[in-house]
A = this chain, B = another copy of it.
Amino acid sequence: MSKSRIIANRWIYTGKLLKLELLQVRGPDGRAREREVVRHPGAVAIVPLLEEGDQRKVILVRQYRAPLDRELLEIPAGTLEPGESPLECAKRELAEETGYHARRWEKLAEFYTTPGFCDERLHLYLARGLEPLGGNRPDEGEFLRVEEIPLERLEEMLSSGELEDAKTLIGLALLARLLKL
């Protein structure tokens, strides 16, 4: 079986965050097919684990999501800025969204969010050794509410359907595996 390959492309839209590209792909059968592709700069997400003696919590954020026109409960996350490394971006987003700084960072996973139509790659971190940052949170424009969830609730959250965001499901499922919950 010979391979698929891109034989032509055309840009439809270039926005502030997204670009839309039309690809012509020649398949193994020799036939060309059109593919609508969203180009995305890439993103990070963070599982912030708060450990206060016996009490362990994950920090989530509840925020308005325009595509759904409602709020969603998610792990902190954000889009890569030009020239920014994934880890720098994760540190910035954790501070901006939760007001915490982390002493220890671990990579949990790296994946494509929707490889069927978009090239977004997401870098997922575990942040431990959390310490509150002093002063106001830098990004007051985010309008989100921080929620601290005790780890005892994780099992229920992973099976009840209340987590409706893909990266949050991945982050919390991998955390539960890591901590053998």
Q: Is A134's CB within 8 Å of the partner chain B?
A: no
So how many copies of this chain end up in the complex? Answer: 2
Taken together as a complex, chains A and B put the C-alpha atoms of A164 and B79 apart, in Å, by 18
B-facing mask of A109-122, CB < 8 A → 1, else 0? 11111111111101
Q: Is A66's CB within 8 Å of the partner chain B?
A: yes
A: contact size bracket: 35 or more
Q: Is A133's CB within 8 Å of the partner chain B?
A: no
Q: Is A54's CB within 8 Å of the partner chain B?
A: no
Once A115-B72, A161-B110, A167-B166 are accepted as A-B contacts, the answer to whether A143 and B66 lie under 8 Å apart by CB is: no
A83-91, A94-102, A171-179 - interface stretch: A171-179
CB neighbours of A79 from chain B (8 A):
116
Once A40-B117, A161-B109 are accepted as A-B contacts, the answer to whether A122 and B173 lie under 8 Å apart by CB is: no
Interface residues of A in 55-74 (CB under 8 A from B): 64-69, 72, 74
Q: Is there an interface contact between B18 and A38, defined as CB atoms closer than 8 Å?
A: yes
CB neighbours of A169 from chain B (8 A):
109, 111, 170, 173-174
CB neighbours of A40 from chain B (8 A):
117
Task: With A17-B117, A114-B166 given, name 10 new contacts (CB 8 A).
Answer: A4-B143, A12-B20, A25-B64, A25-B66, A35-B66, A38-B117, A110-B164, A111-B166, A113-B114, A166-B166
Could you name 8 residue pairs across A and B whose Cβ atoms are closer than 8 Å?
Answer: A1-B143, A4-B143, A18-B38, A37-B67, A72-B112, A112-B164, A113-B113, A173-B174
